[in-house]
Amino acid sequence: MIVKRYRWSKPEVERRWRMDETDIKIKGQWRYLYRAVDSDGNTVEFLLAAHRDKKAALRFFKKAMRQHG
**Amino acid type, 10:** K
Tens of pLDDT, residue by residue over 2-31, are 566 555 555 566 678 899 999 999 999 999
CA pair distance 44, 24, nearest whole angstrom: 19
CA pair distance 52, 48, nearest whole angstrom: 10
Tens of pLDDT, residue by residue over 27-55, are 999 999 999 998 888 888 999 999 999 99
Helices of type H across the chain: 2-9, 54-68
Residues shown for the chain: 69
**Amino acid type, 46:** F
Cβ–Cβ under 8 Å, residues 68 and 45:
yes
pTM of the predicted protein model: 0.71
